[in-house]
Amino acid sequence: MAQWTSNNPKAKIKSCYTSEVKYFDAHTHVNFVAYNDDREDVIKRAAGAGVGMNCVGTQFDTSKAAVELARKYDNVWATIGLHPIHTSKSYHDEKELGEGGKEFTSRGETFDMSAYEELGKDPRVIAIGECGLDYFRVDESTKDVQIKNFVAQIELANKLQKPLMLHIRNAYDDALEVLKAHAVVRGDVHFFAGNWAIAKKFLDLGFTLSFTGVVTFTHDYDEVVKNAPLDMLLSETDAPYVTPMPYRGKRNEPAYVEYVVRKIAEIRGEDEGKVATQLLENARRVFGVL
């Protein structure tokens, strides 16, 4: 399988938590309003559990918030980008944005290359995304808009030489074609939910696959977790969503990524310490951190 190593020297910064980091949450949203009441406590709990995290934006406001958190906390890095569902009229749930924490429907954001590029120059920004394609309940008329914005973000990642953080739902074939045509950099397929045949196509391109707490309560992705090379896997929480067992039903947080790592090791039948060490090394390689 092909691999890609970050060649962004600005991303290779040392955290004061480096000697203590055991896990890396490759995709979390502690920038969302779901954490407005206790964000600092959540981040400090993660640090205490030996967790570094990649705080991911979904549009410009949440991307900017992610960068601000990464500047403030040594165990936080940021990813900036425009989520495909936010490129046109879309629903936002109360955990993400919303005035006063209330859900709302937006008119969609137009990707501003210059604004994102300026934000992306910050050394605490380690990837571009989450970007990609989302065809779940999609209006056919918005597919072209999604693709246009996806290509623009790939071009930004190529320019800044930072990896991509991909969000792909019900659109793996189209996303692969776009990546083959435009991507020079590689990155991670966040919350991978495809089968082994699809997984191999991304692995062959050099993209890692990351898994969430879903693996702790379903066997749907066991085949991929077992068959993928260990050095091509990442762990994530996608907090505040998809909380792993034994906390399912409660709000998720980065400290719980340990349960994802533990389950990956169990599914693969490998030593938990070995798996944890390799997943951390994978994050270092892909994102150039720690």
Tens digits of per-residue pLDDT, 32-61? 999 999 999 999 999 999 999 999 999 999
In a domain, residue 116? The reply is yes
187 neighbors 197 (Cβ within 8 angstroms): no
127 DSSP β-pair partners:
79
Q: How many domains does the chain have?
A: 1
142 DSSP β-pair partners:
none
In a domain, residue 142? The reply is yes
Q: Which of the residue ranges 76-80, 138-142, 150-154, 280-284 would you say has the lowest mean pLDDT?
A: 138-142
CA gap 164, 275 in Å, rounded: 23
Tens digits of per-residue pLDDT, 231-265? 999 999 999 999 999 999 999 999 999 999 999 99
In a domain, residue 4? The reply is no
In a domain, residue 279? The reply is yes
**What's the domain range around 200?**
9-287
CATH, residue 195: 3.20.20.140
**What was the pLDDT predicted at 54?**
98
How far, CA to CA in Å, does 108 sit from each of 62, 83, 96, 166, 243?
14, 10, 15, 19, 28
Examine residue 240 and say whether the peptide bond preceding it is cis (omega within 30 degrees of 0). Answer: yes
235 DSSP β-pair partners:
211
With pLDDT > 90 as the criterion, what percentage of the chain qualifies?
A: 82
pLDDT averaged over every residue in the chain: 90
More confident residue, 41 or 17: 41
How far, CA to CA in Å, does 63 sit from each of 17, 82, 87, 137?
23, 8, 14, 25
Closest CA to 195 of 159, 164, 163, 170: 170
In a domain, residue 1? The reply is no
Q: What is the mean pLDDT of residues 177-181?
A: 98
Tens digits of per-residue pLDDT, 77-131? 999 999 999 998 755 556 665 444 445 455 689 999 999 999 999 999 999 999 9
In a domain, residue 3? The reply is no
Tokens 């009229």 found at: 89
How do beta strands 125-134 and 164-169 pair? parallel
212 neighbors 25 (Cβ within 8 angstroms): no
Task: Please state, as a whole number, how many other Cβ atoms lie within 10 Å of the Cβ of residue 171.
Answer: 21
In a domain, residue 2? The reply is no
pTM exceeds cut of 0.95: no
How far, CA to CA in Å, does 148 sit from each of 39, 183, 240?
34, 14, 28
DSSP code of 94? T
Q: Which of the residue ranges 27-31, 112-116, 138-142 would you say has the lowest mean pLDDT?
A: 138-142
Helix 143-160, helix 113-120: angle, nearest 10:
40
In a domain, residue 113? The reply is yes
E strands in the chain:
23-28, 51-56, 76-80, 90-92, 104-106, 125-134, 164-169, 187-189, 208-211, 233-235
CA gap 186, 207 in Å, rounded: 6
**What was the pLDDT predicted at 243?**
98
Band (pLDDT 50/70/90 cuts) for residue 14 is very low
CA gap 227, 225 in Å, rounded: 6
CA gap 85, 94 in Å, rounded: 15
